[in-house]
Amino acid sequence: MIRRRHVLTCGLALPFVAKAQAAAKVVVVGGGFGGATAARFLHRNGVGVTLLEPNDTFVACPFSNAVISGERSLDAQRFGYAAVRAEGVTVVHAAAISVDAIGKTVTASDGTKLPYDRLILSPGIDIIWGGLEGYDEAAAARMPHAWKAGEQTLLLRRQLEAMPDGGLVVMSVPPNPYRCPPGPYERASLIAWYLKTHKPRSKILVLDAKDVFSKQKLFQNAWQQLYPGLLEWVSLSDGGKVVRVDPATLTFETEFGSHKADVGIVVPPQRAGAIAATAGVADRSGWCPIDPVTLESRLVPGIHVLGDAAIAGAMPKSAFAANAQAKVCADAVSALLRGDKPQDPRLINTCYSVAAPDYGFSVAGVYRPVNGVLTDIEGAGGISPLDAPDTQRVQEARYGDRWFQTITAEVFG
Amino acid sequence: MTGRAGIALVMILAAAAPAPPGASSCSGCHGAGAPIAGHDAKEMTESLIAYRSGARPSTVMGRIAKGFSEPELDAIAAWWAARK
């Protein structure tokens, strides 16, 4: 809940003096691809920035599917904040626990109250425990989600390694929206790759609450070519929607029957990170409506929301999108702080997936505000060609590797 | 924003010319340094226009360049050319 009382007690006397003497101050909550980028770009614009992030180390989700399939170390996914701090951003390793949008302060878990002129929330996602019947925090220790990279990623890796040849992997996929739209299908592909090369009598079954998904034709072509009989996708129309899981028996129940897994993976229903609801910027969907020019909340003035937590129109919940939004938001907030009108932005998203280590493809989009919503620019963007030669799949897999190196260098390096 | 600090802040903020629409997204793949920062503007515009028409083959750049008009591509190239 937003605390309104503070404005009465200290809103008149203290901040007037303090703010007149200090430069404009922005607090950024969340040190992922969105938040860390926003903090650094604001600092470069001459704005005083404090970044609130509870963890010392960020574990990146993009490419973590390759940790699950055993081709990559989790260490390659870890990034610290030394460079962000060295650049001049004040990094505080604490969580934001409440926001006073009237008095313009954030209270951190270490008890400090941080004043702000503008607040940027980039809190990522939270899992809705119980959003799928049977799937609570305890269940995640048996049936990993691995949708926040870290221990969960390693747990799933260990389970796959321990599974005997001939085993059945089952993964349930939720309806939209969720973090990383093509992520479940890349994961299914790379698990199939692992099974094909190490446990070829095994199988992965994908139970989906949707009939269509990101890069669908590209994935399905790859599956047909690489994993016939090994990877089976069951759409919503074919009864793929999981209605309940039982972690004790690793069972997935659909409306039509049940599947007992040897390794069970649940991509769970999600919403914006908890601070979004606490600050009052999440709507009934659990996500945050924003202005497409400034990324300022439609619900609470002075608070901007970006990345996975935001309802960003046609832009997907991807690391690239969060990074692009952060840079636009940093320029918009800088303009607002100096009393200028933020410019009408264009944003780009590029997202690579692999169906096997040397089989990559991409989706891209270019977006602009139309009637208050970030909208696809017609004629631009789209997916890699379906008839591309193998050489292009190899090339795009390598471009994906390089993208990860480049973007993590921009955000954390 | 009032007082001397406010004026100083305005000066700092004004010194950094904001990226033209679309330009800040480029570094997501290309990074903020070479090869795009400091690259010849005219050459960059020509490449982007060739990507957009398909005259120069690409995996993803053609799809992205199609989202921009020639003046927009010009502005993006000029801004990156002026970067260090």
B28 vs A21: CB contact, 8 Å cut-off?
no
Q: Is the pTM of this model over 0.80?
A: yes
How many helices (H) and strands (E) chain B has is answered by: 5, 0
Tell me which chain B residue has its CA closest to the CA of residue A360: B59
Q: List the single residue in A338, A392, A395 with the smallest CB-CB distance to B14.
A: A338
Tell me which chain A residue has its CA closest to the CA of residue B26: A348
CA dihedral over A64, A137, A125, A35, signed as positive or negative: negative
B5 vs A22: CB contact, 8 Å cut-off?
yes
- Which residues from chain B sit within 8 angstroms of residue A331, using beta carbons? 18-19, 24
Closest approach of A300 to chain B, Cα-based (Å): 21
What CATH number is associated with residue B71? 1.10.760.10
DSSP-assigned letter for residue B40:
-
Tell me the pLDDT band of B16, cut-offs 50, 70 and 90. low
**Whole-number pLDDT of residue B10:** 44
Closest approach of A140 to chain B, Cα-based (Å): 33
A350 vs B28: CB contact, 8 Å cut-off?
yes
Q: List the single residue in A328, A379, A406 with the smallest CB-CB distance to B30.
A: A406
Range of the domain at B66: 3-81
Q: List the single residue in A343, A380, A409 with the smallest CB-CB distance to B64.
A: A380
Residues 6+ apart with CB under 8 A from A321: A307, A312, A315, A347, A349
**Whole-number pLDDT of residue B34:** 86
How many domains, chain B? Answer: 1
For chains A and B, what is the number of CB pairs under 8 angstroms? 127
Which of A346, A319, A340 is CA-nearest to residue A403? Answer: A319
DSSP-assigned letter for residue B32:
S
A327 vs B24: CB contact, 8 Å cut-off?
yes
**Whole-number pLDDT of residue B84:** 84
A327 vs B1: CB contact, 8 Å cut-off?
no
A331 vs B19: CB contact, 8 Å cut-off?
yes
Q: List the single residue in A41, A343, A396 with the smallest CB-CB distance to B21.
A: A343
**Whole-number pLDDT of residue A52:** 98
Question: Mind listing the domains of chain A with CATH numbers?
Answer: 5-54+93-127+271-343 (3.50.50.60), 139-269 (3.50.50.60)
Q: List the single residue in A21, A345, A395 with the smallest CB-CB distance to B21.
A: A345
Distance between CA atoms of residues A316 and A308, nearest Å: 8
3-state secondary structure chain A: CCCCHHHHHHCCCHHHHHHHHCCCEEEEECCCHHHHHHHHHHHHCCCEEEEECCCCCEECCCCCHHHHCCCCCHHHHEECCHHHHHHCCEEECCCEEEEECCCCEEEECCCCEEECCEEEECCCEEECCCCCECCCCCHHHCCCCCCCCCHHHHHHHHHHHHCCCCCEEEEEECCCCCCCCCHHHHHHHHHHHHHHHHCCCCEEEEEECCCCCCCHHHHHHHHHHHCCCCEEEECCCCCCCEEEEECCCCEEEECCCEEECCEEEECCCEEECHHHHHHCCCCCCCCEEECCCCCEECCCCCEEECHHHEECCCCCCCHHHHHHHHHHHHHHHHHHHCCCCCCCCCEEEEEEEEEECCEEEEEEEEEEEECCEEEECCCCCEECCCCCCHHHHHHHHHHHHHHHHHHHHHHHC
B29 vs A407: CB contact, 8 Å cut-off?
yes
Tens digit of pLDDT per residue, chain A (413 long)?
444 444 333 334 443 333 333 478 999 999 999 999 999 999 999 999 999 999 999 999 999 999 999 999 999 999 999 999 999 999 999 999 999 999 999 999 999 999 999 999 999 999 999 999 999 999 999 999 999 999 999 999 999 999 999 999 999 999 999 999 999 999 999 999 999 999 999 999 999 999 999 999 999 999 999 999 999 999 999 999 999 999 999 999 999 999 999 999 999 999 999 999 999 999 999 999 999 999 999 999 999 999 999 999 999 999 999 999 999 999 999 999 999 999 999 999 999 999 999 999 999 999 999 999 999 999 999 999 999 999 999 999 999 999 999 999 999 99
ipTM for the assembly: 0.90
Which of A137, A132, A144 is CA-nearest to residue A250? Answer: A144
Closest approach of A402 to chain B, Cα-based (Å): 8
